[in-house]
């Protein structure tokens, strides 16, 4: 496809995902593409990352594994692209549905909003259970403000790598680029962390994922600021940009702190700071230290509102680019 058709498909996919999201009736019957990616990554992990190898050998195997996985994803993207091209308009609609599967607007908003609902209806235990479905930290260590912060942080971070990044990679490179990005991002979430087992084997996946998300994380600042302007006014927009520029680099990730800082500024709350993953305390500076130190379920709902407006701006930008390329 040419870039104008990519932009048209992306626009339709953004709208479809915003309305339909991830239908559970479908994924309870057939495997989700990301689950298939995960199974392939897991197989590579089992075959190439035995404990008997040295750290150097694991790192080299990890490099080979992620390159092979990306090549496989690109090849699959080309195959689907050529297949859809056989069906004309029908192929465009099929590709729209496939692209929508790899976006996370409605599902992310629903999962994060569920944390606020659980806190109000079931108390702290319910909030912990709900947030445990979307974050990697230990939910039992979180008090109510920490549950709220975790939900907002997940919302902001996943806006970047679950919506903006796949949109960029598809718009520029089509299905091969989208498949490659989702394979890489899935690999990073599975093997890219710094545990003893994966610090070497997942090194290449983690570094490549940082590169792949660099542009999306910074574009997310502007989109969140625009969403804040729509929902909360000029001051929130200005604070989103100011805090992102000042505190975006405080996060241990070179990318995640950018959208998190923008959301912190938009909502005037503190985010990040010390937290526990797998029983290990991770100490980080507080993002937006001058903001409110107690986040609430209302802040989660405001964050979801900003997120949805930011997604609307992304669709608008996509439409504008499509018109430019006509």
Q: What is the pLDDT of residues 194-203, one digit of tens each?
A: 888 999 999 9
For residue 222, what pLDDT is reported? 98
**Phi/psi of residue 233, nearest 5 degrees:** 105, 180
Sign of CA pseudo-dihedral 117, 121, 122, 124? positive
Q: At what angle do helices 203-212 and 214-232 cross, to 10 degrees?
A: 50
Report the distance separating Cα 55 and Cα 49, nearest Å.
Answer: 10
Which pLDDT score, from 0 to 100, does residue 314 have? 98
pLDDT, tens only, 134-151: 987 788 889 999 999 999
- Provide the pLDDT for residue 248: 95
Q: Is the pTM of this model over 0.85?
A: yes
Angle between helices 165-191 and 297-325 (to 10 degrees): 130
The reported pLDDT for the residue numbered 260 is 97
Residue 279's pLDDT is 58
Measure the CA–CA gap between 65 and 186, rounded to whole angstroms: 13
Evaluated on CA atoms 255, 144, 275, 200, the torsion sign reads negative
Residue 272: strand pairing partners: 286
- pLDDT given at position 320: 97
pLDDT value of position 273: 78
Q: How many separate domains does the chain show?
A: 1
Say what the pLDDT of residue 141 is.
84
Residue-range definition of the domain harbouring residue 128 = 3-325
- In this prediction, residue 280 carries a pLDDT of 61
Other CB atoms within 10 A of residue 241 CB: 19
Instruction: With a cut of 50, list the residues of the chain below it in pLDDT.
Output: none
Q: What does the alpha-carbon distance between residue 244 and residue 260 come to, in Å, rounded to a whole number?
A: 8
110 to each of 118, 131, 133, 285, how far by Cα in Å?
12, 12, 12, 29
* pLDDT of res. 276: 62
């Amino acid at each position: 496809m040419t870039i104008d058709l990519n932009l048209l498909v992306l626009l339709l996919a953004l709208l479809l995902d915003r309305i339909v999201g991830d239908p559970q009736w479908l994924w309870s019957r057939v495997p989700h593409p990301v689950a298939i990616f995960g199974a392939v990554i897991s197989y590579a992990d089992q075959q190439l990352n035995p404990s008997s190898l040295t750290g150097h050998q694991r790192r080299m195997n990890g490099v080979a594994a992620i390159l092979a996985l990306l090549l496989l994803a690109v090849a699959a993207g080309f195959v689907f692209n050529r297949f859809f091209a056989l069906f004309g308009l029908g192929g465009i609609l099929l590709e729209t549905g496939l692209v929508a599967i790899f976006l996370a607007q409605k599902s992310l908003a629903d999962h994060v909003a569920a944390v606020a609902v659980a806190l109000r209806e079931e108390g702290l235990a319910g909030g912990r259970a709900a947030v445990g479905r979307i974050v990697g930290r230990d939910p039992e260590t979180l008090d109510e403000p920490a549950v709220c912060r975790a939900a907002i942080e997940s919302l902001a971070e996943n806006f970047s790598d679950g919506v903006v990044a796949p949109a960029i990679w598809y718009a520029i490179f089509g299905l091969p680029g989208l498949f490659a990005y989702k394979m890489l991002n899935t690999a990073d979430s599975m093997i890219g962390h710094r545990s003893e087992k994966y610090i070497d084997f997942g090194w290449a996946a983690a570094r490549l994922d940082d590169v792949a998300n660099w542009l999306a994380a910074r574009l997310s600042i502007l989109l969140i600021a625009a969403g804040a302007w729509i929902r909360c006014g000029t001051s929130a927009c200005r604070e989103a940009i100011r805090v992102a520029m000042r505190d975006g680099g405080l996060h241990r990730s070179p990318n995640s702190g950018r959208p998190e800082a923008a959301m912190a500024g938009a909502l005037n709350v503190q985010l990040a700071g010390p937290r526990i993953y797998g029983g290990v305390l991770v100490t980080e500076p507080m993002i937006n230290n001058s903001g409110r130190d107690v986040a609430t379920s209302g802040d989660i709902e405001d964050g979801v509102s900003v997120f949805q407006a930011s997604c609307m701006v992304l669709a608008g930008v996509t439409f504008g680019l499509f018109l430019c390329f006509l």
